[in-house]
């Protein structure tokens, strides 16, 4: 009975992992890049200055002056302060204004109080959002595809734990150069060491989208109407009431007194934003919010003031209910906005190992079947060939495409109006080319060639950066510009990694050929079966 | 000096996992070939010390980053350390025991800085 | 194919019995549908019932239940593929779905909260 259970779970693990493996790899890689989304944003806009800090009192007044000019009659203004790595520059946002555009967002230069101007780019945000929006697909469809993928990932993890017989005995075990055994070891080790991260990131991924995936749970109690849905949201997420504008003009109170109260309550550097509803109207409200990214609990404390009298009307705590707190923690853990530099790198590393886990699982599938096919007399089934080629074109080909995204960012002329879109188009075009290359070249040659392409694409990025911006590696190291230095060095490290992969593949292939020439050696080598 | 304080969760975890791997026959042969095997009592002591070092690593995480972030960071630390250790055991097993002892000493000292 | 399919399809491969091969494929298809659709429905009705028994007000109960629904779904899928036959898998889903649906209707049509 037990072994039947384990066998069924092994079957489930194998097929669940295979069918969605490439999508999961894509999600993992782009999501991992997302842990450095703002850093990538900044590398992709090298014209922008180093991260800034502002005096909250001064900037709130400057921002208000600017909003009064560019967004009069708005239903909502927001003023964001750059208090941590998540927001390098102060920002303003407006909505429902009488001006054109009625809704907008500007990053402000703290030195001049003027908007920052930089090249058009999708930046790290686009790369990050790709991991649940899949870029080209309609939103709903993308959410559901990613949802199915995430759920199958969860199933893969659980069945993987069930199937893995010797989690503790094999905890530290990796036996290289032993064919299928080595790939299984590699798959096991990276899965086990990152297991807490994997379970967290997968389950929280589902919970983040639970209103899309499980809407009927709420509908069962609140009905399917829009009002029912609204009632559920307001009960579940107690927030300030949203008032209608009265249509009677009334001056907005100065911010300084309100900001004083917030700073007194939360301390310096903890005030994250000021939000103004119906500025200039008698029904105006001003909300001050604390930092969302203080810890894993992703929630802000808010102070709500009357916008005309300046009286404190309500305080909304970060913690309102256990159920919401549980969701907020999962949300916070998934995004990792709270992570400082050490923890951010650990997140990034865990994400990379997660990608390796998916990749090694896919390779293991192919290696196993390639060995069996060879034993059964040089069969070459289509399914196996398809998986092998998709593996090459995705596991190495997609990273090449990401490098192409960065190359496009620097090579497309800044005057080209559609450059932001074309950065992405080029990324997917390059991926397509890599897939075609993988499909048409001999298998091992395709692996080696793509590894070399990836190696050079990443290794030369710091050079490209030096040629196309004034913030080259020496400069950034000298000025402690860790965003640029970090990006360049990471690209360099990735390039070295791919070059090593290519070299390992080559030496291994040579060794195998020599062995075959001297003695007939039936034990298949690990990489030959790639 | 401050860098050792920040490294202490990693160093404690490294020493702890190194000891835990050392009590497994397969890895003992790789890491310390001249030892034939452990007496049960010594194996028990090593296992306990290894576990204790992991808990000390958790304690340093909580101390450095607070409860919420520290707990998350601890899992990240464990992931990184085990991965590094597996690579070392596979490709450069010789220095592991020495490094583990050094890690234990440095991290212990760093607690008092 | 791997161990699971081996159990079912090794004799068929030897005898080249198309019927059995077809039976195996149908069984897999049936289980996939049971897991995807049946599992989802089970997770849904179980969560609706669960929502009534979680701490806090009605909205909090719903929030808790939504978060837990994916665990229920996972267990349901594991059941579907662990069952001896596809028919048993369906029965094992069907009975709790009927039972929980009735309970859910009773709860949401002014039963408890």
Give tens-digit pLDDT for C19-66.
567 788 888 999 999 999 999 999 999 999 999 999 989 999 999 999
C/B Cβ contact: 3+ pairs below 8 Å: no
Q: Provide the residue range defining the domain that includes B74.
A: 2-108
pLDDT attached to residue A509 = 83
pLDDT attached to residue C19 = 57
The nearest alpha carbon in chain C to A2 belongs to C82
What does the pLDDT average to over A325-342? 96
Q: Pick from B17, B72, B80: which is nearest to A296 by CB? A: B72
Number of domains in chain B: 1
A217/C65 Cβ within 8 A: yes
ipTM of the complex: 0.95
pLDDT attached to residue A320 = 87
Q: Pick from C7, C48, C77: which is nearest to A217 by CB? A: C48
- Give tens-digit pLDDT for A197-235: 999 999 999 999 999 999 999 999 999 899 999 899 889
What are the tokens at A156? 């893969």
Residue C5 covered by a domain: no
C65/A321 Cβ within 8 A: no
Show Cβ contacts of residue C37 under 8 Å, excluding neighbours closer than 6 positions. Answer: none
pLDDT attached to residue C15 = 40
Residue B113 covered by a domain: no
Q: Pick from A5, A154, A323: which is nearest to C74 by CB? A: A154
Neighbours of A53 (CB within 10 A): 14
What are the tokens at A99? 């001006």
- Give tens-digit pLDDT for B5-64: 889 999 999 999 999 999 999 999 999 988 888 999 999 999 999 999 999 999 999 999
Selection from A169, A150, A141, A212 nearest residue A16 by Cα: A150
Q: In the predicted model, is pLDDT for residue A521 greater than 70?
A: no
A-interface mutation test, from B5, B72, B75, most A Cβ less than 10 A away: B72
| Residue that is written with structure tokens 């392409």 in the block | A453
Whole-number average pLDDT of chain A: 93
Domain boundaries, chain A: 2-46+126-193+339-518, 56-117+239-319
The nearest alpha carbon in chain B to A199 belongs to B75
Number of domains in chain C: 1
What does the pLDDT average to over A308-329? 93
Q: Provide the residue range defining the domain that includes C43.
A: 33-113
pLDDT attached to residue A469 = 93
Kindly compute the dihedral angle of the four CA atoms of residues A454, A457, A460, A462, in this order, to the nearest 10 degrees. Answer: -100
Q: What is the CA radius of gyration of chain A?
A: 27
Residue C96 covered by a domain: yes
Comparing C12 with A317, the larger pLDDT belongs to A317
Selection from A378, A394, A390 nearest residue A439 by Cα: A390
pLDDT attached to residue A517 = 76
- Give tens-digit pLDDT for A412-424: 999 999 999 999 9
Show Cβ contacts of residue A221 under 8 Å, excluding neighbours closer than 6 positions. Answer: A232, C48, C51, C58, C62, C108, C113
Whole-number average pLDDT of chain C: 84
Comparing C100 with C14, the larger pLDDT belongs to C100
Task: Please tell me whether residue C11 adopts helix, strand or coil conformation.
Answer: helix
Residue A286: phi and psi, rounded to 5, are: -125, 125
Angle between helix A382-391 and helix A419-440 axes, rounded to 10 deg: 140
What's the CA gap between C82 and A6, in Å, rounded? Answer: 8
CB A254, CB A290: distance < 8 Å:
no
- Give tens-digit pLDDT for A33-66: 999 999 999 999 999 999 999 999 999 999 999 9
Find the chain C residues whose C-beta atoms sit closer than 8 A to any C-beta of A: 2-5, 7, 43-44, 47-48, 51, 54-67, 69-70, 73-74, 77-78, 81-82, 84, 104, 108, 113
Q: Is the peptide bond before C81 cis (omega within 30 degrees of 0)?
A: no
> What count of CB pairs under 8 Å joins A to B?
72
What are the tokens at A496? 């070295």
Residue C68 covered by a domain: yes
What's the CA gap between A400 and A472, in Å, rounded? Answer: 22
What does the pLDDT average to over B106-110? 92
Contacts of C74 in chain A (CB under 8 A): 151, 154-155, 158
pLDDT attached to residue C8 = 42
C67/A210 Cβ within 8 A: yes
The nearest alpha carbon in chain A to B75 belongs to A196
Contacts of A8 in chain C (CB under 8 A): 4, 81-82
Lowest mean pLDDT among A94-103, A483-492, C94-103: A94-103
Selection from A414, A406, A424 nearest residue A464 by Cα: A406
Residue C93 covered by a domain: yes
- Give tens-digit pLDDT for A347-400: 999 999 999 999 999 999 999 999 888 888 767 889 999 999 999 999 999 999
Contacts of B87 in chain A (CB under 8 A): 174
The nearest alpha carbon in chain A to C2 belongs to A11
Q: In the predicted model, is pLDDT for residue A91 greater than 50?
A: yes
Q: In the predicted model, is pLDDT for residue A249 greater than 50?
A: yes
A-interface mutation test, from B18, B83, B93, most A Cβ less than 10 A away: B83
Residue A47: phi and psi, rounded to 5, are: -70, -25
| Residue that is written with structure tokens 């905890």 in the block | A171
Tell whether A171 lies on the interface with C, counting CB pairs under 8 A: no
| Neighbouring-strand partners of residue A115 | A108
Selection from A62, A197, A32, A213 nearest residue A124 by Cα: A32
Please state whether A237 falls in left (phi above 0), alpha (psi between -120 and 50) or beta: beta
Q: Provide, rounded to the nearest whole percent, the portion of chain C with pLDDT above 70.
A: 79
Q: Sorting pLDDT into bands at 50, 70 and 90, what band is C13?
A: very low
Q: Provide, rounded to the nearest whole percent, the portion of chain A with pLDDT above 90.
A: 85
Q: In the predicted model, is pLDDT for residue B102 greater than 50?
A: yes
pLDDT attached to residue A179 = 84
Tell whether B25 lies on the interface with A, counting CB pairs under 8 A: no
Tell whether A325 lies on the interface with B, counting CB pairs under 8 A: no
C-interface mutation test, from A323, A324, A327, most C Cβ less than 10 A away: A323
CB B112, CB B26: distance < 8 Å:
no
- Give tens-digit pLDDT for A431-471: 999 999 999 999 999 999 999 999 999 999 999 999 999 99
pLDDT attached to residue A166 = 85
Tell whether B13 lies on the interface with A, counting CB pairs under 8 A: no
């Amino acid at each position: 009975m037990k072994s039947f259970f384990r066998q069924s779970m092994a079957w489930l693990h194998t097929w669940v992992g295979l069918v969605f493996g490439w999508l999961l790899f894509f999600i993992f890689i782009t999501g991992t890049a997302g842990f450095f989304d703002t850093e990538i944003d900044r590398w992709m806009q090298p014209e922008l200055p180093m991260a800034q800090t502002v005096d909250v009192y001064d900037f709130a007044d400057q921002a208000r002056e600017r909003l009064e000019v560019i967004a009069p009659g708005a239903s909502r203004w927001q003023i964001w302060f750059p208090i941590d790595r998540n927001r390098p520059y102060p920002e303003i946002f407006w909505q429902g204004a009488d001006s054109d555009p009625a809704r907008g967002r500007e990053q402000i230069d703290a030195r001049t109080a003027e908007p920052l101007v930089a090249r058009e780019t999708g930046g790290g945000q686009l790369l990050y959002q790709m991991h649940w929006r899949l870029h080209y697909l309609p939103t709903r469809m993308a959410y559901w595809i990613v949802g199915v993928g995430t759920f199958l990932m969860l199933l893969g993890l659980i069945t993987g734990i069930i199937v893995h017989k010797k989690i503790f005995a094999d905890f530290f075990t990796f036996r290289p150069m032993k064919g299928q055994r080595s790939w299984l070891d590699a798959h096991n080790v990276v899965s086990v060491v990152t297991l807490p991260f994997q379970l967290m990131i997968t389950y929280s991924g589902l919970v983040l989208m639970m209103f899309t995936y499980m809407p009927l749970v709420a509908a069962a109690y609140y009905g399917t109407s829009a009002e029912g849905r609204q009632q559920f949201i307001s009960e579940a997420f107690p927030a300030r009431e949203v008032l209608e504008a009265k249509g009677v003009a009334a001056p907005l109170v100065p911010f300084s007194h309100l900001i004083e109260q917030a700073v007194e309550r939360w301390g310096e550097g903890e005030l994250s934003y000021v939000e103004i509803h119906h500025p200039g109207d008698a029904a105006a409200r001003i909300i001050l919010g604390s930092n969302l990214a203080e810890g894993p609990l992703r929630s802000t404390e808010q102070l709500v003031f009357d916008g005309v009298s300046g009286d404190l009307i309500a305080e909304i705590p970060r913690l309102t209910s256990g159920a919401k707190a549980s969701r907020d923690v999962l949300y916070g853990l998934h995004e990792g906005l709270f992570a400082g530099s050490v923890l951010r790198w650990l997140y990034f590393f865990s994400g990379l190992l997660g990608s390796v886990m998916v990749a090694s699982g896919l390779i293991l599938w192919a290696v196993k079947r390639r060995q069996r096919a060879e034993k059964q007399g040089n069969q070459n089934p289509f399914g196996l060939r398809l998986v092998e080629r998709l593996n090459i074109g995705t596991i190495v080909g997609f990273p090449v495409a990401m490098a192409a995204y960065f190359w496009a960012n620097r090579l497309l002329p800044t005057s080209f109006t559609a450059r932001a879109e074309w950065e992405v188009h080029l990324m997917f075009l390059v991926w397509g080319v890599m897939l075609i290359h993988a499909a048409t070249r001999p298998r091992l040659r395709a692996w080696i060639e793509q590894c070399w392409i990836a190696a050079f694409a990443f290794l030369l990025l710091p050079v490209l950066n030096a040629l196309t911006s004034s913030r080259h590696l020496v400069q950034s190291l000298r000025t402690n510009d860790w965003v640029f230095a970090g990006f360049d060095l990471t690209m360099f490290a990735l390039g070295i990694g791919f070059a090593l992969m290519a070299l390992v593949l080559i030496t291994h292939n040579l060794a195998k050929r020599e062995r075959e020439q001297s003695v007939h050696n039936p034990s298949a080598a690990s990489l030959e079966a790639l | 000096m401050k860098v050792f304080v920040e490294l202490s969760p990693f160093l404690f975890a490294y020493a702890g996992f190194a000891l835990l791997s050392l009590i497994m026959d397969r890895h003992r042969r790789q890491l310390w070939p001249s030892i034939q095997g452990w007496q049960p009592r010594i194996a028990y002591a090593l296992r306990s010390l290894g576990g204790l070092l992991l808990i000390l690593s958790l304690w340093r995480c909580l101390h450095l980053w607070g409860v919420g972030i520290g707990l998350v960071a601890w899992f990240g630390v464990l992931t990184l350390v085990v991965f590094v250790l597996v690579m070392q055991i596979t490709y450069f097993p010789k220095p592991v025991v020495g490094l583990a002892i050094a890690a234990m000493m440095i991290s212990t000292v760093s607690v008092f800085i | 194919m791997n161990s699971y399919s081996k159990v079912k399809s090794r004799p068929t491969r030897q005898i080249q019995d198309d019927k059995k091969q077809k039976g195996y494929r149908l069984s897999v298809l049936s289980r996939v549908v049971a897991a995807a659709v049946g599992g989802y429905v089970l997770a849904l009705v179980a969560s609706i019932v669960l929502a009534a028994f979680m701490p806090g007000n009605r909205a909090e109960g719903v929030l808790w239940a939504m978060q837990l629904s994916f665990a229920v779904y996972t267990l349901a899928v594991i059941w579907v593929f662990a069952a001896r036959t596809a028919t048993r898998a369906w029965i094992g889903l069907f009975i709790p779905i009927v039972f929980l649906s009735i309970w859910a209707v009773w709860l949401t049509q002014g039963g408890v909260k």
